[in-house]
Chains A and B, each alone.
Chain A
């Protein structure tokens, strides 16, 4: 969808180019995040895609067409543009701000009206309450929502976002990120996203392009960047806590165990005795007649309780459960908080999907790194 070919930007009087023969492809419907330290050329690259900055060399194709052969203003109307400080027109109401591009394109009044109201709703802004407000009256988060709505107004297939959530507080940023990801699942835009925050890059990106001194250092999925950094610079940039960052990236479903043995609440003690007779079996899930997991039984406690009272008294209830959208970080956090080594994953109807354990997370991540280490060694052997 966006194809950048050997693009260079040189400013007069500067020793090294701001962007140096950069090439990459962004697939349709993907979020590609440009990330790197300040001065790495990420914003320059972004701004060359809508010709706010003119490239000194190379070619950029958007939707198969060379942008340098197009009228810049016509090109920009087809590319949504979101900037950090929003750049909302202070003399326009929220409604008029969002309607800028549709009006430039000459849409009929009714169509503009319908679209603006739809966008306000998409951005979780009450249309009646907000449409006549002026930007001055909006909070940082609201301004940014209007900024995104304005960029999406004419439904452009491509969007450029320059640190769009950089100027808001961390809580609002997290909220905006989540909302935007949810929205993106529906609208499937091709998005170029600039940030200096590697955590944001990992969270938002389908692909991450790490830039340094105008050059592309690594262009890969967040997983690969974390598991297999291309060089020391990337390793340092993603941080020494990159294995923790992996936790934020992977969903519980990647390490979830399905088909776990379960025992009915009403089962007799023979069945349980038989199960626990195996020296390695220390825990068993208990479910009711409707196949809902009600809790688990631990061997020690089972043996402590007298059979007369009924073993059901020894069932422990899970303090919390996970859903399939939770990340491994959510899972670990819950486990630490509740001092428990495993938690069940439930679907939307509260039905049991599987179980995630601390040890499974540990071994999954450990193995992923080991594999990559092995690959590296192989590469080195090949070189030798």
Chain B
């Protein structure tokens, strides 16, 4: 194994693969957030809130489905390429976001909500001024989890022809070349750690802002 070879691989292919990888991650996260947030909020409203515990445990269980399986399921349905990859990644990423949104709103201090209602805030005002701000730190934590998952799972997207850092890893496996495997995983890990730190920073700031 040559360290030089490793650097050559990263230098030659790194930028474009990282770009593709980040593209997959961010687009998937974007869809995941805009779908998961409304679903999460909806679940905490009547009549769904009666089933809130069942829905929460479903979201937790669904998270247990292996990422490879999620990607594989959509292969026969949507074929290969970037679009089915983003579709599968979005669905996988929305689970922790939806779960945290539901758990955060469910866990709010009932006295605060009763006081809000008692002061004459409408349902919409309670949601926008009280529930969502107070739930934000936990929702951001959910997004953080989803981001790490997606960075990892996106390597599998190569299997359905979406490209990304998975290409290096799977090429390396096929060619029995540790340099390729290492290059791909190191870059994926670097992305995951960087995004995790950034979101952690953001989450702490949000938490402080909301007096958490």
Task: State the A residues within 8 Å of B (CB).
Answer: 50, 52, 73-77, 81, 83-92, 100-101, 104, 134-136, 147, 150, 160
Chain A residues within an 8 Å CB radius of B109: 85, 87, 90
What are the 4 tightest A-B residue pairs by CB atom distance, in nearest-first order?
A: A87-B115, A81-B118, A76-B120, A77-B120
User: Distance (Å) between the CB of B108 and the closest chain A CB?
Assistant: 10
Chain B residues within an 8 Å CB radius of A92: 211
The answer to whether B118 and A90 touch across the interface, beta carbons within 8 angstroms, is no
The answer to whether A89 and B130 touch across the interface, beta carbons within 8 angstroms, is yes
Interface bits B105-141 vs A (CB < 8 Å: 1, else 0): 0000101111111111110010000100110000000
Chain A residues within an 8 Å CB radius of B119: 76-77, 81, 100-101, 104, 150
Q: List 9 A-B contacts (CB under 8 A).
A: A73-B120, A81-B115, A81-B119, A86-B111, A86-B115, A87-B111, A104-B120, A134-B211, A136-B211
Task: State the B residues within 8 Å of A (CB).
Answer: 109, 111-122, 125, 130, 133-134, 209-212
Given A77-B119, A77-B120, A91-B134, verify A135-B211 contact (CB < 8 Å): yes
User: Distance (Å) between the CB of B122 and the closest chain A CB?
Assistant: 5
Chain B residues within an 8 Å CB radius of A74: 120
Chain A residues within an 8 Å CB radius of B130: 89
The answer to whether B118 and A89 touch across the interface, beta carbons within 8 angstroms, is no
Chain A, residue nearest B115 (CB): A87
Tell me, in angstroms, the Cα distance from A107 to B55 when the chains sit together: 42
- Other 5 A-B pairs with CB < 8 A, given A76-B118, A87-B115: A50-B118, A83-B118, A85-B111, A87-B113, A104-B121
Chain A residues within an 8 Å CB radius of B111: 83-87
Binding site of B, secondary structure by majority: helix, strand, loop or mixed? helix
Tell me, in angstroms, the Cα distance from A61 to B53 when the chains sit together: 39
Chain A residues within an 8 Å CB radius of B134: 89-91
- Max count, chain A CB within 10 A of own CB: residue among B112, B114, B118: B118
Chain B residues within an 8 Å CB radius of A85: 109, 111
Tell me, in angstroms, the Cα distance from A84 to B118 when the chains sit together: 13
Binding site of A, secondary structure by majority: helix, strand, loop or mixed? mixed
User: Distance (Å) between the CB of B150 and the closest chain A CB?
Assistant: 29
The answer to whether A87 and B116 touch across the interface, beta carbons within 8 angstroms, is yes
Tell me, in angstroms, the Cα distance from A85 to B115 when the chains sit together: 10
User: Distance (Å) between the CB of B60 and the closest chain A CB?
Assistant: 27
Tell me, in angstroms, the Cα distance from A104 to B130 when the chains sit together: 14
Chain A, residue nearest B123 (CB): A73
Chain B residues within an 8 Å CB radius of A81: 115, 118-119
Chain B, residue nearest A97 (CB): B115
Given A83-B111, A85-B111, verify A90-B117 contact (CB < 8 Å): no
The answer to whether A87 and B112 touch across the interface, beta carbons within 8 angstroms, is yes
Chain B residues within an 8 Å CB radius of A73: 120-122
The answer to whether A89 and B112 touch across the interface, beta carbons within 8 angstroms, is yes
The answer to whether A83 and B115 touch across the interface, beta carbons within 8 angstroms, is yes
Tell me, in angstroms, the Cα distance from A87 to B212 when the chains sit together: 15
User: Distance (Å) between the CB of B189 and the closest chain A CB?
Assistant: 35
User: Distance (Å) between the CB of B46 and the closest chain A CB?
Assistant: 14
User: Distance (Å) between the CB of B180 and the closest chain A CB?
Assistant: 49
The answer to whether A91 and B133 touch across the interface, beta carbons within 8 angstroms, is yes
Tell me, in angstroms, the Cα distance from A178 to B55 when the chains sit together: 49
Tell me, in angstroms, the Cα distance from A264 to B120 when the chains sit together: 65
Chain A, residue nearest B108 (CB): A90
Tell me, in angstroms, the Cα distance from A381 to B109 when the chains sit together: 57
Given A83-B115, A104-B125, verify A91-B210 contact (CB < 8 Å): yes
Chain B residues within an 8 Å CB radius of A88: 112, 115
Chain B residues within an 8 Å CB radius of A104: 119-121, 125
User: Distance (Å) between the CB of A102 and the closest chain B CB?
Assistant: 11
Chain B residues within an 8 Å CB radius of A90: 109, 112, 134, 210-212
Chain A residues within an 8 Å CB radius of B117: 52, 76
Tell me, in angstroms, the Cα distance from A270 to B115 when the chains sit together: 73
Tell me, in angstroms, the Cα distance from A90 to B109 when the chains sit together: 10
Chain A residues within an 8 Å CB radius of B114: 52, 83, 87
Chain A residues within an 8 Å CB radius of B212: 90-91
User: Distance (Å) between the CB of B127 and the closest chain A CB?
Assistant: 14
Tell me, in angstroms, the Cα distance from A83 to B114 when the chains sit together: 9
User: Distance (Å) between the CB of B117 and the closest chain A CB?
Assistant: 6
User: Distance (Å) between the CB of A75 and the closest chain B CB?
Assistant: 7
Tell me, in angstroms, the Cα distance from A91 to B114 when the chains sit together: 16
Chain B, residue nearest A75 (CB): B120
Chain A residues within an 8 Å CB radius of B209: 91
